[in-house]
Amino acid sequence: MRIHKEGHIYCIIASLLYAAVIWLCLHFLPVFLAYPLIFILGLIWFWVFWFFRIPTRTFTTGNDLVISPCDGKVVVIEETNEGEYFKDKRIQVSIFMSPLNVHVNRYPMSGVVSYVKYHKGKYLVAWHPKSSTENERSTIVVKGPKAEILIRQIAGAVARRIVMYSKQNDQAKQNEELGFIKFGSRVDLFLPIGTKINAQIGDIVQGGIHVIATL
């Protein structure tokens, strides 16, 4: 396991602040207050490192497979109108990431990045039905050999920063990083009608490992 590059500065700042707090507590607070406070703040310091972790994994691959783009819980599987790019009916699969999940986002399949756009927006809770169209978000479309799919990174009430690495005409490689969402969020997939969905609502999935659909 290692720390993601997006978290390096946060981990450094957290460590410096925690060291300063320890010094202040030990020098200016009585022991019965200092040690509980150091312990509680130590849990927060540990969580910052835990949030930006990248665990070692053996990825699932397949030209006809749509692999989970992130860790989290499947909260939506439904047919809906996708109005930004396809402008027709698609199967939407939404994965909610809690602040305890790994927050790396990965390409669910290989292909060419045919569309990329970042949208400023609101910060509704990530499971809100309107968060997909009203929250801060980025849209990435990958055209593969069997289908064209849309991936949408959505910021939540806590997450206020979406990092997107994709650029138009990039070669997308299945399971490689496409971006990162900081501090809680959601990822939506929009798949062609008729796609076989392998996931179910309530499933706990891991990015790069679990198969969401078969094309």
Distance CA 215, CA 210 (A): 15
Structure tokens at 205: 């999935």
Count CB neighbours of 71 within 10 A. Answer: 24
Q: Has 185 been annotated as catalytic?
A: yes
- DSSP-assigned beta bridge partners for residue 89: 81
Annotated active-site residue in 68, 132, 138, 185 = 185
Active-site residue list = 185
